Amino acid sequence: MRILVQEAAFDLGAESNAFAEAQSNMGAVVTFTGIVRNNVEGTLQSMRIEHYPGMTEKALTKIAEEASSRWDLGDVLVIHRYGDLEPGELIMMVATASKHRVHAFEAAEFLMDFLKSRAPFWKKEITSDSAEWVAAKDTDEDALKRW
């Protein structure tokens, strides 16, 4: 299990390859990547991501441990960035490895659902004339109920 909370950009290809190559007895690797999306008007200058140092790492570790206990996983990787990110930049990635693809897919979805509303990150959309905190959606909380 590897949990990284960092300001620096990461190399999706290098991280995905290293993760897959480290698996010796797994049949499936699933990766998900979150990208800074421009707003509807296309005026987003940056997405400012704040987090709670200390709690973030603990919360992500707990979520990854929970996924590992529910599914037969060989490994889990979570990278989440903070700071000012521009549209198109990678915010985060998760990767799961399992003998079976269903486990890898489900565990990756579980990680994403919990990461959205149980890991202490907050996003603020900065445009040329506004700076608004992104509100959590009811659907984010509802998504946890299926697990």
Partner 1 sequence: MDVVYFAWVRERIGLPKERVDTEASSVMELVEELRAREDRYAIAFSDLSALRVALDQELSDFDASLSGVREVAFFPPMTGG
Q: Which residues bind partner 1 (CB under 8 A)?
A: 34, 50, 52, 54-55, 58-59, 80, 91-92, 112, 115-124, 133-136, 140-141
Contact 1, 75 (CB under 8 A): yes
Quick one: 72 or 147, whose CB is closer to partner 1?
147
Quick one: 26 or 91, whose CB is closer to partner 1?
91
Count Cβ atoms below 10 Å from residue 108 Cβ, excluding itself. Answer: 22
Q: How far is the CB of 27 from partner 1 (least distance, A)?
A: 27
The HSE-up count of residue 61 (CA atoms within 13 Å, CB side) is 8
Q: How far is the CB of 115 from partner 1 (least distance, A)?
A: 5
Quick one: 27 or 54, whose CB is closer to partner 1?
54
Token digits of residue 11 = 């190399």
The tokens 């296309």 sit on which residue?
42
The HSE-up count of residue 8 (CA atoms within 13 Å, CB side) is 4
Q: How far is the CB of 112 from partner 1 (least distance, A)?
A: 6
